[in-house]
Amino acid sequence: MKQWLRKSVVILVSILTFGLVTPAHAIWNENHGVDKAKHQNEASDLKQATTLSSYRSEQQENNRDTIIQKMMMEAEKQSFEKFGEKISPIIEDEFRQVILPKIQDAIEMTIAEYPEEELSSLAITETPSGGVSEKIFHIYNIKTNEDIIRFHVRRDHPPMDGYYFNFHYHTKFDNYQTHYHLGEIYWDKNTPPKWMSV
């Protein structure tokens, strides 16, 4: 039944019976059935959209987790390569327990700042620097070749004290000016060997 005809019949019945009888049977049920089916379709579409959105969010989270996992494996490898055979055995346990979890926190915070579509352009530099240089590794954008976060270790020798390895990082967000402290590991009273010493 056409919409205008249905409305006309409802109004006509209401006028003729002075509003005592309202035609709620077949006319309204037919319209209600259409509305109900439409509502069910809308609810189904919303559920599918929510499921898809949830799936995408889960996929993005999995992608971020995978990238963080790969970066952490490379970060650990680069760190021990920098320490070399002379330093690694002495600081290895403390580095894994104290410093490495903080490096992971810093990487996670950095990755969280990046949109999903840009994550694939992030990489870790391939070689740490030796000698007395501070660089352990940098995370950079391979498209722009710009460092995003720089992980360093500095040798500190406070007066009347031994040597410490000061782990810290810098970010592009403040133009690499701030030292974000990760922790210190005590070495010894004697001068530590150069980085990457065998």
**pLDDT digit string (tens) for 30-62?**
555 555 555 565 656 555 555 545 544 555 566
Which pLDDT does position 35 carry in this prediction?
55
Contact 177, 198 (CB under 8 A): no
> Which has more confidence, 86 or 44?
86
Which pLDDT does position 18 carry in this prediction?
59
Give 88-112 as a 3 state SS string.
Answer: HHHHHHHHHHHHHHHHHHHHHHHHH
Extract the tokens encoding 21.
């009888």
Contact 185, 95 (CB under 8 A): yes
Which amino acid is it at 147?
A: D
Q: Using DSSP, state whether 158 is helix, strand or coil.
A: coil
Percent of the chain with pLDDT over 70: 69
